[in-house]
């Protein structure tokens, strides 16, 4: 098992010097093909832009969106022409009402989507809605990079946030190509329930699963010392000098996360290390 196709989704030329460079460096590090989607969202025939990706600027009409997608694709092509990796650029425009499905269709054969968090403004909102589309509609993992972060080599120190969830296990399975190359893997549990199946050996069964994949790991149990689980995870990642965090995304519904907050949202907002997420 390996990562063969990495995708990144561009919505503006501002991302050429940040997200595209980061995705290129990551694809080079894992020797993968880079697929670049140059996306422009337009109004549908009714003129109503109603979708989870409304945060992405929509053109007045589809003709304008097609032109913007082509221009963005041309800029990405010019940027990648000097690179020594395998790549392709796919400009596409979509009415807002069906854009989630169109993104899912374009990335259905991708192993991983690389996105950059961006500043806490419109760029961040766009990233969050794109990440949710990739995780839920395309059923694909996301590697979320901090702003201006360059991952020039496979991560050497990885932390797995293990919470016994199906999402957490799926994230670990999909991250195996990166975990097998890491020098150190740390499994961190935060306040595991006392009635958990492996309460006598927290994380033991999961560590055995990793061991059978040829991955040695260290398991640690932490108490929540910050105001949130996300805060504790970020502090622990800093203490362990990790350069990647693997975790399940959206253990609760998106609506509950939006209303009450949650670990996924908090990690998306300001994690200092790259975060590999799967749902």
- How do the domains of the chain map onto residue ranges? 5-145, 157-278
Average pLDDT estimate for 78-102: 94
Per the model's pLDDT, the better-predicted residue between 120 and 17 turns out to be 17
Rounded percentage of the chain residues whose pLDDT exceeds 90? 62
Same fold, 5-145 and 157-278: yes
Residue corresponding to tokens 């899912």: 104
Per the model's pLDDT, the better-predicted residue between 150 and 268 turns out to be 268
Q: Which are the contacts of 276, defined by CB distance < 8 A and separation ≥ 6? A: 141, 142, 143, 144, 171, 174, 175, 178, 244, 245, 246, 247
Q: Tell me: pLDDT of 261 over 80.
A: no
Among 91-95, 168-172, 193-197, 254-258, the least confident range: 254-258
Mean residue pLDDT of the chain comes to 87
pLDDT at 129: 87
Task: Kindly state which CATH superfamily the domain 5-145 is placed in.
Answer: HUPs (3.40.50.620)
| CATH (one of 1.10.287.110, 3.40.50.620, 3.40.50.10800, 3.40.50.300) for 157-278 | 3.40.50.620
Residue closest to 245 by CA, chosen among 158, 115, 173, 152: 158
The 10s digit of each residue's pLDDT in 200-236 is 789 999 999 999 999 999 999 998 876 788 999 999 9
The 10s digit of each residue's pLDDT in 35-77 is 999 999 886 544 444 444 555 554 457 888 999 999 999 999 9
């Amino acid at each position: 098992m390996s990562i063969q196709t990495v995708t990144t989704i561009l919505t503006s030329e501002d991302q050429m010097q940040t997200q595209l460079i980061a995705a290129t460096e990551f694809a080079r590090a894992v020797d993968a093909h880079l697929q670049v989607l140059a996306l422009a969202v337009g109004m549908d025939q009714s003129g109503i832009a109603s979708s989870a990706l409304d945060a992405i600027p929509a053109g007045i009409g589809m003709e304008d969106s097609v032109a913007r997608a082509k221009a963005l694709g041309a800029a990405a092509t010019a940027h990648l022409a000097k690179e020594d990796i395998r790549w392709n650029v796919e400009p596409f425009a979509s009415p807002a009402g069906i854009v989630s499905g169109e993104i899912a269709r374009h990335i259905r054969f991708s192993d991983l989507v690389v996105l950059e968090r961006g500043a806490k403004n419109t760029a961040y909102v766009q990233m969050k809605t794109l990440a949710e589309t990739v995780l839920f509609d395309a059923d694909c993992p996301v590697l979320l990079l901090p702003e201006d972060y360059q991952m020039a080599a496979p991560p050497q120190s990885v932390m797995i946030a293990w919470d016994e969830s199906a999402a957490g296990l799926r994230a670990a399975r999909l991250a195996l190509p990166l975990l097998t190359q890491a020098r150190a893997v740390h499994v961190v549990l935060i306040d595991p329930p006392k009635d958990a199946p492996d309460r006598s050996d927290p994380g033991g069964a999961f560590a055995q699963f990793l061991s059978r994949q040829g991955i040695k790991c260290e398991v640690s149990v932490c108490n929540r010392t910050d105001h949130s689980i996300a805060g504790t995870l970020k502090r622990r990642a800093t203490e362990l000098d990790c350069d990647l965090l693997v975790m399940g995304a959206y253990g609760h519904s998106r609506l509950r996360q939006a209303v009450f907050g949650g670990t996924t949202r908090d990690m998306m907002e300001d994690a200092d290390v790259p975060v590999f997420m799967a749902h």
